[in-house]
Amino acid sequence: MTHETLTQLGREARGFASPDEAVLERVPNPQADVIYLARFTAPEFTSLCPVTGQPDFAHLVIDYAPDAWLIESKSLKLYLGSFRNHGAFHEDCTLAIGRRIVEVAQPRWLRIGGYWYPRGGIPIDVFWQSGPPPEGLWLPDQGVAPYRGRG
């Protein structure tokens, strides 16, 4: 996908009603010969509890080592926003996001941390990675403290 074929970057783009409808886009990585880490942080991620319909909130940290492609950040923002009215458990949301990014960008490696605010009095933190990190990749801490009235 080239900049000319992107459907959202540089254009008016409205949100999507669901993650299944959302378009996650990629762009060529001009530094594909280098092993490095890129991080997306979404401190105000929201979805809905699939049982009660009540809102759930999370702080997401997405780390990936790009290969030939980068995730286009505007499309990621719209994709994450599509969960706002989507009912799913914390584990499902976190893994669905990580797996979708892997499907689209085909990175060397990805990890996602879903730091969810309490539901029923306990926070549920969900972690997933696509496999072992590439040798020589610097992995900084995700920087989210254990729950203590997170903020």
pLDDT tens for the 151 residues of the chain, in order:
445 577 655 556 677 678 998 999 999 999 999 999 999 999 999 999 999 999 999 999 999 999 999 999 999 999 999 999 999 999 999 999 999 999 999 999 999 999 999 887 888 999 999 999 999 999 999 998 877 665 5
pLDDT at 3: 52
Is position 42 within any domain?
A: yes
Residue 150 belongs to a domain: no
Residue 6 lies in a domain: no
Answer yes or no: is 140 within a domain. Answer: no
In a domain, 5, yes or no: no
Q: H or E segment at 94?
A: helix 90-105
Residue 138 lies in a domain: no
Task: Provide the number of structural domains found in the chain.
Answer: 1
Is 117 among the domain residues?
A: yes
pLDDT at 16: 67
Mark residue 136 as left, alpha or beta (left: phi above 0; alpha: psi -120 to 50; beta: remaining): left
Whole-model pTM over 0.85: yes
Task: Decide if 147 is inside a domain.
Answer: no
Q: Which residues are catalytic?
A: 49, 56
Q: Is 99 exposed, middle or buried (0-12, 13-18, 19+ CB in 10 A)?
A: middle
Distance CA 106, CA 66 (A): 8
CATH number at residue 68: 3.30.1130.10
Q: Which domain holds residue 32?
A: 16-129
Q: Which has the closest alpha carbon to 66: 98, 19, 90, 34?
A: 34
